[in-house]
With several copies, the nearest count.
Chain A
């Protein structure tokens, strides 16, 4: 058994998806079709409901199946792959760090295999690559979260080469990718649970709603 409570991580992530919902929706309105906030929140709410029903299950494995089987859009199943791999890795070790590191590594690999995105394409991958690097180094859990969040933030300067956003090109530049932002919040939740007193910022300040001017694109 690992010591960081997966269940609390997933529930904290679910709360974060509520807090960040409007910001994520606005970001996906700028670069896509505006449903990413809904997709993420719905998937996590369903996971929490499933956890409430089936006591004792691995929270990341449950999240994996829910996202894989019930959440639509491009991001739903990709996040499902990530959770599934994390769940599988955590189930096979007592070492939190090794479990999360292996899980994120193989989750990222699966996402890239399936989604064919490279770093810099303005996708989920841009949050996961720095998070994995931090996990593999000797960063604190908070350091991992910060790496993921700043990877996501850096997508604001890039043009999408993958996904729906690739059709809008220039217009999305200046705002971060919704998917990368949403996935970074997983590491934010992990750090909150693992290191509650580390001083990591709140969602509202880390993921601001883009201004109207931005949204008009």
Chain B
């Protein structure tokens, strides 16, 4: 029925088991309801960080559970929000003296399920705050109240807040920092081929060989526009321009995330990274940190997103702070 290599029944469950088996020293698996917790979080943490969302965007979020990032993550079915009970139980399992901060990508289902979990946690006397990640510039002008979608900036928020939480920051301060990081982050994505539909098989939407979906979402929502595909350097130039226009002051430099949407090769992603870096150089925008890889995909979609975060004092240190999770790269030479 489809070309994804997934078991016929309970694909997410099987996969999560294989994930926990592969990373047993970093994460612990909890079943019914399904969630993962960090085995060895930083002892100084006073506020727990919990996230979650639909599956198919892996390694987000479970891949970032561990030392220096999330305390727990709740994976939903493919492209569907986790159930509120998953979020509730995950939060109960990891809550600390200052409570729990929920990191939520801006989709209705996620907002509602995290919201209900928060209601229940508060009823239990657990303090809860939420950071809503809404970085996708392509959904900026929707005439609706749904607002911008949450995409690549989720990773930036999880890393920076993770490091901050490890210093013992309280719930309010963390929530404020999270809001600030979100406000300073914008993303844009393009696709040359839709992801494989996990239910029907085949491409979730179809594009001709010479077409490009500009401003695509991470669930196969079609983009803001279907355009004739320009050369790669024209695409990256336009995306860089729009991102910088959408961002507040970048005087202290930016963090650059070049993210694959699933079926995009490192060869392509590093080429995109080079071209975007050249664009930023032309505009004299300093790049304080860079990350290139497939971190927030839309199953196996062929395409990429660019996220820029306008840096504020202290954020770079948090971004570079030590981390041990299944998926966040730790590539710096040991000192």
Contact = CB atoms under 8 A, between A and B. Distances in A.
Given A72-B80, A77-B113, A114-B119, A166 B144 contact: yes
Given A113-B115, A114-B119, 9 more contacts: A72-B80, A73-B109, A114-B116, A116-B145, A159-B143, A164-B108, A164-B109, A167-B146, A169-B143
Interface in A94-111: 110
A161 B147 CA distance: 9
B84 A162 contact: no
Nearest to A69: B85
A14 to B, nearest CB: 21
A80 B117 CA distance: 12
A151 B240 CA distance: 46
Interface of A: 68-69, 72-74, 77-78, 80-81, 110, 113-118, 121, 159-164, 166-167, 169
A73 B143 CA distance: 23
Label chain B's interface by main secondary structure: helix
Contact of A68 (B85, B108, B115): B85
A210 to B, nearest CB: 22
Given A80-B116, A81-B116, A110-B119, A160 B144 contact: yes
12 contacts: A68-B116, A69-B85, A73-B109, A78-B116, A115-B108, A115-B115, A117-B145, A159-B143, A162-B146, A164-B108, A166-B145, A166-B146
Interface string B70-107: 00000001001101110000000000000000000000
Sorting the interface of chain B by its residue count into under 10, 10 to 19, 20 to 34 or 35 or more gives 20 to 34
B229 interface: no
B142 interface: yes
A181 B87 CA distance: 28
Nearest to A81: B116
A68 to B, nearest CB: 7
B111 interface: yes
Contacts of B81: 74
Interface of B: 77, 80-81, 83-85, 108-109, 111-113, 115-116, 118-120, 142-146, 221
Contact of A78 (B80, B112, B221): B112
Nearest to A123: B108
A163 B108 contact: yes
Nearest to B118: A114
Given A161-B144, A162-B145, A77 B116 contact: yes
Contacts of B108: 74, 115, 162-164, 166
Contacts of A117: 145
A115 B112 contact: yes
Contacts of A116: 111, 115, 145
Contact of A121 (B83, B111, B112, B145): B145
A212 B252 CA distance: 57
Contacts of B85: 68-69
A115 B146 CA distance: 11
A162 B116 contact: no
Nearest to A164: B108
A198 B289 CA distance: 70
A115 B81 CA distance: 14
Contacts of B116: 68, 77-78, 80-81, 114
Given A74-B109, A77-B112, A115-B112, A161 B221 contact: no
**Chain A to chain B: the 8 pairs with minimum beta-carbon distance, closest first:** A114-B115, A166-B144, A161-B145, A166-B146, A163-B108, A77-B116, A161-B144, A77-B84
A116 B107 CA distance: 12
Contacts of B143: 159, 169
Most buried by B among A77, A115, A162, A169: A77
Nearest to B114: A114
Nearest to B117: A77
Nearest to A166: B144
